[in-house]
Amino acid sequence: ELETALEETLVAYEAAQYPGLDEEVLVEVTDDVAIKVRMPEDFREVRDGEYEAKSDASYILIDVSDSYAPERDLTQSEFEEAMEYMLEESGLNVETFEVTQFKDSEINGYDTLLIEMKYSIEGLEIWQIQFIIEADGSSCSIIYTTSPDLGWYDEFEASVNSIQVGVAE
* Tens-place pLDDT, residues 115-164: 999 999 888 999 999 999 999 889 999 999 999 999 899 999 999 999 99
Residue 169 has pLDDT above 90, yes or no: no
The predicted pLDDT at position 18 comes to 44
Query: 72: pLDDT confidence band, cut at 50, 70 and 90?
Result: confident
* pLDDT, position 141: 95
**Mean of pLDDT values over 78-95:** 89
Q: Which residues contact 64 (CB under 8 A, 6 or more apart)?
A: 27, 28, 29, 49, 138, 139, 140
Q: What is the pLDDT of residue 93?
A: 87
Res. 19 pLDDT band, cuts 50 70 90 = very low
Over 90: is that where the pLDDT of 114 sits? yes
In 10 A of CB 152, how many CB atoms?
25
| Residue of 119, 132, 122, 112 whose CA lies nearest to 80 | 119
Average pLDDT on 25-32 reads 91
Asked if residue 20 has pLDDT above 70, the reply is no
pLDDT value of residue 104: 93
pLDDT confidence of residue 125: 94
